[in-house]
Each structure stands twice: as structure tokens, then as C-alpha cells.
Amino acid sequence: MIWESGPWRHELAQVADRLEKRRTQRRWTQQTSFLVERDVMVSAYAVRKLHEARKVSEKVATSPIPVQRHQLIGQTPDILRTDDLGAYDFEDVTTTTLTLRELCNQFIHSYVFVLAAGDDGSALDGVFVASDRERRRAVYWVGLADLIEAFRRVAYEDIVHVEFRMNERGERELYDMAGVDVRHQELPWSSADDDLQESPR
């Protein structure tokens, strides 16, 4: 259970900044792909843990993220073909939304995870993802800009109201919560802090 959310929010903000730079990066290596996948996977898990710890409001957790859904039309990707996007229909695209919580679960349980370049084949533009269950039905594409904004929404949310109530078992349950976006304010973790600084890569 996460008690102090500051360091986690700080890291989410750092990840968002790193992903922002990837949008214009032209030189890609296997290490670059690993770093992006690591950042997205760890951040998705952090968002879910923060939500479970009641550090993220329902408004943010259920905020809609635009995605493109491609139906499965071929053989379901398996352990030897986890990046086989040819099994999905790219001629008939469905534009829909997933909540932030749903999208994070797709990443956490991802069976298909493929980075996607822009139309000119250069910088990172988005990610194709499907969980171990969803891969049998479809794969989702989420734009990098939307993913960055989602991570920042969590990083810069300040919970200003929390109300718990006792249930019939004598356990506290969340009754109400409210948060505000403080991304334009000076935050405790936004100043230099040796313990939170990323080591040079």
C-alpha cells in the first residue's frame, strides 16, 4: 500500500517528460525501446497502485482516453508471435475510449506491446497494446500525446477532500474524494531533491 504519494507522482511527471522527448527523437536502438516500454509499464502499475491506495480520484481514474480498436481477423498472437499485428484488421478501425484504469490494466497485463512510429516512419507516435485476454478479440492503439497527458493528470492531482465511512463489518470504505489539478503550482517534489533525481543515463 502506498502511503506517501509524492515520490510516485514525481516519477510519473518525470516519465511524462521523458516520453515527450521521445516524440521528436529520431535515433532509435533496442535500448531506447526497452526504456520506453519500462517507463510505460512501471507508470501504468504506479497509477493503479495509487488508485488502489486512494491517492487518485475516481474522476481521474475513470477519465476517458481516446484509443483506436482493431478487431482480430487472423490467428491469435501467441508466445512466438507477440508482436504480430498482421492478425488484426487495420482497414476497419473503431475509434472508442478506455478509462485510464482500463488502459493501465491493458499495459500491466500486456501480451501485445508494440511501439508505433508516425506516418513518416520516424519518431514515436503511439503504442499498440492488448492484454492476455483482449488479444483474442482486438488490439488497441493509444497516441503518445494522450498517454503523456494521462500520466501528468495523475502526477499533478492534489487530493483536497477524502471522506470515509464505516461499513457493516466495521471497516472504513471510501465515500467521497475530490482532487484538483496543480500542475502550474510549485509542488514539494518539483524542486531539486537529491533523493528523487534520476541518475544519468
pLDDT digits (tens, 9 = 90+) for 144-176: 999 999 999 999 987 666 666 677 887 776 655
Residue 188 forms part of a structural domain: no
Does residue 93 carry a pLDDT above 60? Answer: yes
Residues 123/23, Cβ–Cβ less than 8 Å: yes
Distances (CA, A) of 93 to 1, 68, 77, 139: 39, 6, 19, 11
58 in any annotated domain: yes
Q: What is the mean pLDDT of residues 44-55?
A: 93
> Which structural domain range is residue 142 located in?
6-181
Q: What's the rounded mean pLDDT across residues 72-92? A: 89
Residue 198 has pLDDT above 60, yes or no: no
Please report whether residue 186 resides in a domain: no
- β-strand partners of 161: 178
In a domain, 187, yes or no: no
- Which has the closest alpha carbon to 116: 68, 165, 169? 68
The percentage of residues in the chain with a pLDDT greater than 70, rounded to a whole number, is 82
Residue 51: pLDDT over 90 = yes
* pLDDT, position 20: 95
pTM of the model: 0.81
Which of 16-25, 93-102, 162-171 has the weakest average pLDDT? 162-171
Q: How many distinct structural domains can be found in the chain?
A: 1
Say how many C-beta atoms besides its own lie within 10 A of residue 161's C-beta. Answer: 10
| pLDDT score for 123 | 84
Q: What is the dihedral of CA 69, 139, 45, 115, to 10 degrees?
A: -100
